[in-house]
Every structure is written in structure tokens, then in C-alpha cells.
Structure 1
Amino acid sequence: MSVMTATDHRIPQAQADSLCQPGAYADGQIFETYRWLRANEPFGVAKVDGVDPFWVATRHADILEISRQNDLFHNGDRSPTLTTQEVDAKVRAMMGGSPHLLRTLIHMDAPDHPKYRILTQAWFMPQNLKRLEDQIRVIAKAAVAKMAARTDANGVGHCDFVQEVALHYPLRVIMSIMGVPEEDEPRMLKLTQELFGAADPELARDAGTPPEEREFDFGVIIDFSNYFRALSETKRADPKDDLATLIATSQIDGQPISDLEAMSYYIIVATAGHDTTSSSTAGALWALAERPGELAKLKADPSLIPGLVDESIRWMTPVKTFMRTATADTTIAGRDLKKGDWLMLCYASGNRDEAVFEAPDEFRVDRKPNKHLAFGYGAHLCLGQHLAKMEMRILWEELIPRLSELALDGTPAMSEAVFVNGPKRLPIRFKMS
């Protein structure tokens, strides 16, 4: 195969624009875009007004190839999330030339990334999580009891599963692990929604401003940082066996981590630690409400619950995209990339790749194999993947045996966001035993 160039493989404007429009991720249009790209231009270049050109990887195999080459494709050289030229310029001016408002694990590369990852990695390993299972099950039982309390004398219930269960259950889990007081959880939830939902008119802090301006909402990060700075002082004065204490007292190469890096660590754990799990949990129940046959399979055979967990993560893929930057000239999928080129990894497309998944647009609780990419791959494989899967498994073990009927009770809705999105409304009607 001859090496092709970006000039030969420009993505049609309609598809390129779709990749950058938060609304396309809410109304499902993005999946039509992905389907077209996989079939016609699986690794092409998007050129959109106000955004630097970027390569777009939509096939499972290409996303894997890029993700496993961490020295060749960096997270930290440019923004790891899609951003406009205007916002990039504002951030660099504010941060002394850095393209990052925060310096979390997703903004780092080696040698810093493994040093910072190892600080908390043990907390999220399966052997450590086993000791938390009973604690998490208590939280799950409380979430199910909250649903049951919404039923009438005939056992019929109505609720918005997102607002009443899916948002709060994983939030309670990660905040208890971090050591954040329960009374502060509503504040953490609101800030998380404002951070990830900045482009959504219902979730953004200042919905009256244009979406392109809402993307640059430094106030949310300031509020997060002020909260966690105070929490750090508390944990240093009165250490506990929790993640916040660990972060507050961490050192790298014999020196305390900087304020920026400590605040960044708190923010990524506090937000990604529950928001993506909430989305996959709500996505699973949404899918089951529309597919009674799949719910019947689970009730007949609870051993399928781990399969439900993986399928819901594939189906929803809460982290839709990440950006990478080429560190040298290279070739991917027969295309000639130059040093400094920006790439978009479309995980939600890779998770619907017909070459990997049979009937990828079907939701199957018994799907095997299920080699989804929702947690990423390589050095940046999601730190909290085992916790997320355990949380969902435990909730379904408590809820599904009690669900005798389940249906939508209105119109669900997804959030508008290019980076992280999921259900923001899920009205359901149900019966519980």
C-alpha cells in the first residue's frame, strides 16, 4: 500500500463538523458519522473552522496501535481533549505557555506519568478493592431501597433513574474512598457536571453564554481547587486511611507534589471516579428498559451480570474521545503523519467496529468476546476500571433480582459533550418485588 497524505484523505465537511459538535453526541448523530468514517475514511483528517486540523482514528485496530505506542503518541504535548484555537491560546496565556489548565494523569507522559500513577494505583487494584466490597454493597442496598420507596401500594414505581440513583450511587462510593464528607457530595456532583457538561445548556454553569465560551470556564476549576486545598490542610492535620490523605502527603522524587498537581489529582479522581460509572450504569438500565428480553436473560441467569457490566461500558463508552500528539514522523493505517500532528481517538467508534464486534449496534448482555476500548489501552489504561466494574456488578446483583417490570416512562436524554457524555435524564416505570 502506498503511503497517503492528509491532503489525499480530508474528511468531508459534514462528518468533520459532526466530530466537533457537542449536540451530535447527544442525539446519536455521532454514530452515523462514525459508521460512515469506518467504511469510507477510517483514518483521515478533519478540518473545522476555529480548530487545528486533526487526524481521526475510528477503527478498533488503529486506536489500539496508537494507544500502545506511548512514546510515539503523547498526551501532554498538546491538549488531550478537543479544544478550539481561541481556548488553547487563552489557556497558554494563563498558564505560562502550557496548554493545560490542570496536570492530571491524562495530561502526563513518561517519566512523570508512571511516577504519579503509582501513588494511588494500589488503591484501585482488585486485591485492595475486595476489602471495600461489603462497604460498597451497603451503599448499593441503600440505592435500591431508595428506588423501592418510590413504589405505590401495587408495587409500581416511577423515577428518573439518572437523577435519583445513577448519579448518587458511584458518587457516594468514590467520595467515601477519598474521605470527602457526605454532606459535601452535592457540591462535588454539581462541579463535576459543570466541568464535563460545559457545552450542555442544561448542565453548564453559565448556560447563557455561547458554547465555545463556556468551554473556558476556569471558575469551576478554581472552585474545585479551593475545596480540595482546604481538604488537604485538614488531612495533613488529621491523617486518615483515605485517598485524600494519600494525595495530601504524597511525594515525588523526595519532594512534596506541587499544588497544581495535587489539585489536579483530586479533581480527576473526584470527577472521573464517579461520572463515567454513572453514565454506564444509566446506559445499562436504559438499554434494558427498551429490551425486556435482555432483562429476562439476567433474571434467569444472574451469572450474566458481569457480561451486562462490560456490555454497558461498551455500549455507552462515556469517554468518547481523547487526543494524542505525534512525537515523530510516522505511518499509521497507510497515512503519513508528521511530528506535532494532532490525533483524535474515537473510542465509541472503535467499540462499534464491525470488524471486531458482531452486530455492534445491538445490546447483548451475553456478548462474548467483548474486547471494548472504553477504558483505553496502554500506559493510560483507566486507573479505576476495576472499581467501576465492581460497583456496577454489586448494584445489579442487588437490583435485578427485585425488578419484575421495567419500561421507559418518558423521553430519556443524553448530555451534550465531545469528551465525556452520558444520560442526563432517564424516566422509568418499574415494579419491584
Structure 2
Amino acid sequence: MTTGVETTQIPDLTDPQTFAPGVPHEAFARLRETPGFHWQPTEIATANGGFWAVTRFADIVEIESNPALFASQPGGAWPSTNLSPDPAENPLYNNLMMMDPPRHSSVRRVAAAAFGPRIVKNFDPWVREIVVEVLERIERLDEFDYILEVAQIIPSFVVARVQGVPAADRQWIVDQTLAAFEAMQTADVNAVGEVLSRTFTYYREKLVPEKLRNPQSDMTSVLIHAAERGEITEAEAYDFLNLLQAAGFETTHTLIGQSMRMILESPEIAEKTFRGIQELGPDKVIDEFLRYITPAMFMSRTATQDTVVGGQPVRKNDLLNLYFTAANRDPAVFANPDEFDPWRTETASLAFGSGPHRCIGNALAKLELRILFEEMAKRDFRLRLNGAPQRGWSTFINQIRSLPVARVS
């Protein structure tokens, strides 16, 4: 397999240990500067014995804009890839991330009607209620883990509210989400299927019957009634609820946790954050956090025929991992890309992907962090590190699992 850089210079991108100290930005910088793509060997979840690591912004945009040539159906995120086209053998067949047009378009259209930016802006009052409730609880604590008490709680409650999940079931939903992410990292499709089966059973036996009896302004009601009208299938409706549960929680959980870690670890970033909010408003600052953090570090596509992209010959069924985290520091797009700079003019990052699969929940993720910043500022809520942050064990999500903090009086 031809590759433009010596494999010994690049860490194993399939090994979570590579990402344990942090995202390997130096290695990604070498890959961006090298013609073609880097071939990462692995027999796990690939048809041709490995995947191409795509790290340049322009190449990723080109690939994501052409789903006919670079498909999502065999799997949208390694190692949940090289999946069967047979629905009976593929537990992720009805997952929106694993669909291509036109099927993808029909499901996304239904979901977007209840989840687009114009709808999400009306979520402000009840999202603010959740944030205020969380802050009022931790105001009584002198020391706590910011991840457990804030970064996990806010998005889990928000997603549950969007889904229409009763408050009593919210923690169970979060537990299933975490279990699914752990299973994905072991490339155990059966384990992922077991988690999805549990949540599918919950939706089918408890949540959906209630929404059929008593429709409300939540995503479950929208999806299940769309299924009744034949706009999507029942399985597609259930699987979108599973996707919303996972993606809506984990991405925002990472954004909230990593942004606070950066603020607490770097006086320079803290100063730029607070000054940026005052001078620019919170949205520009949040966009820069998203670029800099890039919660979902990559997504995957599979070539449907022999082709050439980014100067690299690619075979049919080759897997391509699109490293958004590398592209978001591409100097061809971003000036001084390793610098945190809310005043930068280049704002079209790939934190939420691009093309037909651009994350449908991006407006909600940004709303949650904006409200959190606003409510913390109102309370002059100041923290300091109270121990070493602990990263997650993931090749996929830029995870942080623990952030010990203490109140500053």
C-alpha cells in the first residue's frame, strides 16, 4: 500500500493509547504536509486491511460532498464499519449516520423539521432552567468533579427533554449511552447491538405508546407520527432516537468538559474567553472552542469504486477516516491554527462535519454551552483545578472523563 510518510513516524491511530495523552496534533501536522494519505493497517472492521487517514480540510470537504462515491452505509465511524448491507445482519442499518441519499435525506428531513436552528432557538427557556438547576446544586459544593456534576448532567437532561423521556428514566438513558460508546471502542458490533436493543425495547414498550396516546412537542412524538404517516419506517424512527441519545449527549458532554479544562489550565485561554465573550458575544467564542476541541475526532466513509482523491489512488471498498480534528488545524484554512483565537475570521470548521451528514444537532450543542457561560457569569462562578484531569479511552471522541475542581471564593 503506497503512502507518503514513513509509518514509523506516525503513531497507531487504531490504539486508544495514542490518544490517551491528548490528540496527536504533531503527527497529524506531518500527515497534512505529506502528499496523498497515510495508510493505517488494521484487520478490524475493514474490507481491505486498513484505512486511509484523511487530514486536510479540502480533501474531507470533497469526500463528504460526494456520498455516491464515498458511502456511509458500510459504517459511519470506525470500528463500526465494513457492515453488511443486509438489514438482518447489521444492527446499525437504520442509523442515520450509516445511511446514504435518498434514504438519508428522507429521515433527516423529518428530524430537521423539529430540530433545526429556528426551532432550537426556542429551547432557550427550558434549557436555561436545566442549567440553573445544575448550578444551584453545585453552588453548595466546595469541591466536585465538573464532568460528573455539570458536563454529563446538562446534555443528558437536555437530550432526554428533546426526546420526551420522563425525568425518572434519564439516568438509565445516560448509562446506556456510555455503554454503547464503550462497546464501539472494542469493535464489538454485537455489544453495540445489545445496548441498542435495550433502548429499542424501552422506546417500543414504554415511551412510544405514551406518545401515541398523548403526543407532545418532542422528538419522539414527531418521529413516531411520521412513521405512522409512512414518511419514515418505524425502525428508522427508533434508531434516530438512539442516535440522538448518543450523539446529542457525548458531543456536548465533551464540549462542556474540555472547554472548562482549557480555561482552568491556561490563563491565556481564560483571558481570551472572557474578553471574547464581552467583545464578540459568546457565539464566536464557542465556535472557536468547537474548532479547537473537535469533540468527534473523525467520521468514516467507504469508496464505492476505484478512484483518486487528494492525489491518493483509492480502491473500491477502501475505508477512509476523515480526521476533522486534523483538518480543523489545517494552516491552508486557518491562520495560526494551533492558537486559540475567538477573533479569527476563518470560522467554517469541520467540528460538525460537512455535506449531507453535517450534524443536525449543532445548534443545540452551541445553545447549551452559551447558556452555561451566561449563567456562570451571572453568578461570578469561579473555579480552580483540584487535581489532574483524566482523559477518556477513545480513538473517536476527544473525551474527558474527570475534571476535579474547587470553588474560588
Q: Do Structure 1 and Structure 2 share a fold, with TM-score over 0.5?
A: yes
1:75 aligns with 2:72: yes
Please name the residue that 1:279 is paired with: 254
In the TM superposition, what are the counterparts of 1:22-421 in structure 2 within 5 Å? 22-28=16-22, 30-40=24-34, 43-50=37-44, 51=46, 52-76=49-73, 78-83=74-79, 92=84, 96-98=88-90, 100-150=91-141, 157-198=142-183, 211=186, 213=188, 216-230=191-205, 231-251=207-227, 255=230, 257-300=232-275, 301-302=277-278, 303-403=280-380, 405-421=382-398
Deviations 1:211-250 (A, max 9, x none): 4558844321221111111211221122222111112222
For the 8 Å contact 1:43–1:55, the answer to whether it is kept is: yes
AA of the residue aligned to 2:208: S
Deviation at 1:386, TM superposition (A): 1.0
Alpha-carbon distance in structure 2 between the residues aligned to 1:407 and 1:42? 44
Alpha-carbon distance in structure 2 between the residues aligned to 1:96 and 1:425? 39
AA of the residue aligned to 2:176: L
For the 8 Å contact 2:258–2:293, the answer to whether it is kept is: yes
Deviates more, 1:411-420 or 1:277-286: 411-420
Please name the residue that 2:403 is paired with: 426
Alpha-carbon distance in structure 1 between the residues aligned to 2:230 and 2:250? 31
Deviation at 1:92, TM superposition (A): 4.3
Deviation at 1:172, TM superposition (A): 1.3
Alignment partner of 1:279: what SS?
helix
Unaligned runs of 5+ in 1: 1-6, 151-156, 201-210
Shift in CA distance, 122/257, structure 1 to aligned 2, threshold 3 Å: closer
Alpha-carbon distance in structure 2 between the residues aligned to 1:179 and 1:112? 25
Alpha-carbon distance in structure 2 between the residues aligned to 1:326 and 1:92? 15
Alpha-carbon distance in structure 1 between the residues aligned to 2:42 and 2:3? 14
Alpha-carbon distance in structure 2 between the residues aligned to 1:223 and 1:404? 39
Deviates more, 1:243-252 or 1:420-429: 243-252
Deviates more, 1:173-182 or 1:45-54: 45-54
Unaligned runs of 5+ in 2: none
AA of the residue aligned to 1:106: M
Deviates more, 1:238-247 or 1:258-267: 258-267
Alignment partner of 1:251: what SS?
helix
Deviates more, 1:375-384 or 1:227-236: 227-236
Deviations 1:285-340 (A, max 9, x none): 11000122333344445344212211221122111121111223322111222333
Alpha-carbon distance in structure 2 between the residues aligned to 1:107 and 1:349? 23
For the 8 Å contact 1:304–1:365, the answer to whether it is kept is: no
Shift in CA distance, 385/336, structure 1 to aligned 2, threshold 3 Å: same
Deviations 1:37-77 (A, max 9, x none): 1233552322224453222211111111111222221111x
Alignment partner of 1:260: what SS?
helix
Deviation at 1:279, TM superposition (A): 0.5
Alignment partner of 1:114: what SS?
helix
For the 8 Å contact 1:283–1:315, the answer to whether it is kept is: no
Shift in CA distance, 17/250, structure 1 to aligned 2, threshold 3 Å: farther
Shift in CA distance, 65/344, structure 1 to aligned 2, threshold 3 Å: same
For the 8 Å contact 1:10–1:46, the answer to whether it is kept is: no
Alpha-carbon distance in structure 1 between the residues aligned to 2:17 and 2:100? 31
Please name the residue that 1:203 is paired with: none
Alpha-carbon distance in structure 2 between the residues aligned to 1:424 and 1:215? 25
Alpha-carbon distance in structure 1 between the residues aligned to 2:19 and 2:64? 23
RMSD value over aligned CA atoms? Answer: 2.6
Shift in CA distance, 215/345, structure 1 to aligned 2, threshold 3 Å: farther
Shift in CA distance, 417/340, structure 1 to aligned 2, threshold 3 Å: same
AA of the residue aligned to 2:166: P
Deviates more, 1:400-409 or 1:260-269: 400-409
